[in-house]
């Protein structure tokens, strides 16, 4: 559901004294970060929980396609899979593998720990008890700022218009009458 629809429904609930929206279920992973444009800021502004489906991108973020396992081919067989096994996603998976190796964890565990560090709850789709145990072990992993930054950089995506402009000094100064440094705005984390 588009974020503007959720926002409108939340406003309607507020105005009518109805039960507010408390959770959204969205696709989210290191290879699909588009909910960072509007859904995650919306969730923070309205205290809405986010649960992510396909947190391991159908196996792309488990090492299945990058570590020479049974999924080593170039094509994916899962008809339900939304994310392509393209060059970008292989690059992200390779970087994730290297970070996981340095931490003594699995790629899937690091991908889930990255997601949880953002306050998003992963919906794991384990197909056997071993996968479930492996996924649950991600709750014990704490990624430092350097590791989080490396994962963010490797999986960066084009936020599109108008979000690219939000980092420019001129629109910010014009939009906030030169008072930007005195206003705490959640859309611009770390900018003061």
Q: Which residues pair with 122 in a beta bridge?
A: 52
Please count the other Cβ atoms lying within 10 Å of the Cβ belonging to residue 65.
Answer: 23
Q: What is the pLDDT of residue 190?
A: 46
Q: Could you give the strand order of the β-sheet that contains 23-27, starting from the edge strand earlier in sequence?
A: 23-27, 49-53, 121-122
What domains are defined for the chain?
3-157 (3.20.20.100), 159-192 (no CATH)
| Residue 110 CB burial class (10 angstroms; 0-12, 13-18, ≥19) | buried
Provide the residue-wise pLDDT of the chain in tens; the chain has 192 residues. 899 999 999 999 999 999 999 999 999 999 999 999 999 999 999 999 999 999 999 999 999 999 876 555 555 445 455 788 899 999 999 999 999 999 999 999 999 999 999 999 999 988 899 999 999 999 999 999 999 999 999 999 988 887 776 666 655 556 655 555 555 555 545 444
**Cβ pair 61, 106 in contact under 8 A:** no
User: Can you give the pTM of this predicted structure?
Assistant: 0.81
List, in sequence order, the alpha helices (H) in the chain: 3-16, 39-46, 87-103, 107-117, 129-136, 145-154, 169-175
Say what the pLDDT of residue 2 is. Answer: 93
User: Tokens 């279920």 map to which residue?
Assistant: 25
Closest CA to 41 of 65, 6, 16, 88: 6
Q: Residue 27: beta bridge partners?
A: 53
Strand partners, 49: 23
| Residue 82, pLDDT score | 73
């Amino acid at each position: 559901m588009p974020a503007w629809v959720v926002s409108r429904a939340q406003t309607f609930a507020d105005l009518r004294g109805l039960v507010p929206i408390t959770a959204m279920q969205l696709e989210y992973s290191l290879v699909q970060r588009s909910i960072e444009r509007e859904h995650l800021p919306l969730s923070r502004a309205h205290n809405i929980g986010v649960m992510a489906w396909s947190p391991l991108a159908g196996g792309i973020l488990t090492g299945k396609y990058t570590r020479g396992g049974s999924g080593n081919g170039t094509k994916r067989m899962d008809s339900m899979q939304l994310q392509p096994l393209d060059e970008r996603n292989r690059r992200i998976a390779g970087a994730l593998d290297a970070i996981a190796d340095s931490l003594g964890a699995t790629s899937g565990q690091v991908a889930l720990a990255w997601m949880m560090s953002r306050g998003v709850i992963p919906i794991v789709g384990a197909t056997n008890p071993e996968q479930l145990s492996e996924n649950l072990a991600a709750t014990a992993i704490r990624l430092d700022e350097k590791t989080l930054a490396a994962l963010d950089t490797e999986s960066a995506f084009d936020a599109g218009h108008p979000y690219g402009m939000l980092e420019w000094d001129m629109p910010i100064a014009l939009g906030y009458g030169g008072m930007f440094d005195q206003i705490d705005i959640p859309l611009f984390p770390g900018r003061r």
